[in-house]
A and B are shown apart, each in its own frame.
Chain A
């Protein structure tokens, strides 16, 4: 159902205004604290026009680009999970009434959101979280509500970052499904414009209402060329052949201790990972003891408390925690949810303060003893 249309650069504001008029809170990329972050945007002037990101293990820098692309960057420190599966959320309040108590389940109001600039690896990450949080035996109603009220305006990648490896994970750099509209940004002698593909009924409706012109053969070709460029320039690669068996047969590999000597157990990798979903549930009481609240907060397998059960913590060493995280991501996840837990976005490499590289660790386990 490939409906290829063209959205001129100067009409991008029309898309944003259209979404806003339609009642969507428009979330998109914008600059804050020297990085591209996802926040509510009002207009194209909020977009990181003309900026690209240079990424490597433990390093992220923004730089002026030669072009005025809106989406020249790759991915920033945040992912869309902050909106679908927020860092902290009140679940319920309980109040004492005489000898009994009342439980008031926190009733979330649905917010219609349009995510603008979703990368193909991020769509893949949402599909992974969908499996965990709403397609399995236990459904997270809050996640489902946010997910069902979100529309996805994807942007295919025309550039690969220094820590990207979506090609290895089969998740990009072109989105094949899971979007309402997918854009490919084109800047050449024919001007600055977006190739538009509708991927859902909502998307087709939007394209129709925006009354966009048809894309030419050369536009489609330029789009393919741009995406091929990203494909050919992945900063990292990860050999996934037999990765599950590889990790299952190497629990005692010396590399785990080596990784642990560098690992800070700071949890940054899990916080920035777009598929990590672990949370802790905190109960807070007030001073009188008559009112209690239950909160859910992002948690991480890198804390000692994460594996605390009666009698103590199971994973006390940094080694066991790093091994658990990487083995879960690349191996246990397949048994548990039928997919890899890694989408190749590279965030865990870039945002590790000491630049531990999951692709490098996997390579070392494969090629050394």
Chain B
């Protein structure tokens, strides 16, 4: 059974697809164990019952794309003891950060019938650009087991065991044959942080970099290898311009292949 005081957890949404916060509901088997230990105090996707703040832990999904959100995140920070950002949108600006490489006015006029109704910032930015972040959970979407590990670590007052090394280590531990070496498929695994259990290479696909840059990523060297696979500069640029396009190492790598 649970503890005397159940820490209060809140889940907040910014510009995002909801996939990461739904990972909490996807916990299924572990969900009851989670609610035994922690009070889900503010999670509109799960319940209309909202317990007022302040909160012990806030999980923040999504990026900052409007001036309204740029203010709202400060209120959330003030009412949270620990603030954890979850997913590529919150940690790197998400796929919507592709606008950061273009003129947002151009996008608006192409996408919307009445662009004058759209009030948006010129860039999609990660939460850490606005407020202090205690921990980042990477991924598009985040990993269920890493989320459980994060909550567990919080409850026992220890550092979450979420290694920042490459996807390659996960591939090798599970016995997947390297797709880059055996087939010449370009793969972002050597510069991407582990956490997905190397899902794509296990289906003979190169890594798309969903978990963002790993520690000390060498994107220059990987790009040289991509060139040897006859990838065009544009294709290399696009490879780094995915869900984590605005994470600095990937941003620099894609910008280095512009024109």
Contact = CB atoms under 8 A, between A and B. Distances in A.
Interface stretch (B13-21, B28-36, B232-240): B28-36
A266 B216 contact: no
Given A58-B181, A287-B152, A300-B169, A262 B36 contact: no
Nearest to B167: A266
B163 A261 contact: no
B182 A353 contact: no
Interface residues on A, range: 35 or more
Interface in B150-172: 151-152, 155-156, 158, 161, 163-166, 168-169, 172
Contacts, number: 137
Contacts of A261: 218, 220-221
Contacts of A302: 165
Contact of A287 (B30, B191, B215, B221): B30
A288 interface: yes
Contacts of A351: 178, 181
B177 interface: yes
Contacts of B152: 284-287, 289
Given A288-B33, A288-B37, A354-B221, A60 B181 contact: yes
Contacts of B169: 266-267, 271, 298, 300, 303
Nearest to A282: B161
Interface residues of B, number: 46
Pick the most buried of B37, B152, B221, B224: most chain A CB atoms within 10 A of its CB. B221
Interface stretch (A32-40, A130-138, A361-369): A32-40
A109 interface: no
Contacts of A266: 166, 168-169, 189-191
Given A60-B181, A60-B182, A262-B221, A78 B175 contact: yes
A59 interface: yes
Nearest to A287: B33
A287 B168 contact: no
A340 interface: no
B128 to A, nearest CB: 20
Contact of B182 (A34, A271, A272, A316): A34
A287 B34 contact: yes
A304 B190 contact: no
Interface string A237-272: 000000000000000000000000111111110011
A212 B215 CA distance: 57
Interface in B182-241: 182-184, 187, 189-191, 204, 215-218, 220-222, 224-225
B164 A263 contact: no
Given A286-B152, A354-B224, A264 B173 contact: no
A285 B178 CA distance: 32
A176 interface: no
Contacts of B187: 353
Nearest to B202: A33
B36 A288 contact: yes
Contacts of B148: 287
A41 to B, nearest CB: 15
B178 A353 contact: yes
Given A285-B152, A353-B190, A353-B225, A318 B216 contact: yes
Nearest to B2: A288
A321 to B, nearest CB: 9
Interface in A289-315: 289, 297-298, 300, 302-305
Given A288-B37, A297-B173, A353-B222, A265 B216 contact: yes
Given A284-B149, A354-B225, 17 more contacts: A59-B181, A76-B177, A88-B173, A264-B190, A266-B166, A267-B169, A271-B169, A271-B172, A285-B156, A288-B33, A303-B163, A304-B216, A305-B163, A305-B164, A351-B178, A354-B224, A355-B225
7 contacts: A87-B174, A264-B217, A265-B166, A265-B215, A266-B168, A287-B33, A353-B178
Interface of B: 30, 33-34, 36-37, 148-149, 151-152, 155-156, 158, 161, 163-166, 168-169, 172-184, 187, 189-191, 204, 215-218, 220-222, 224-225
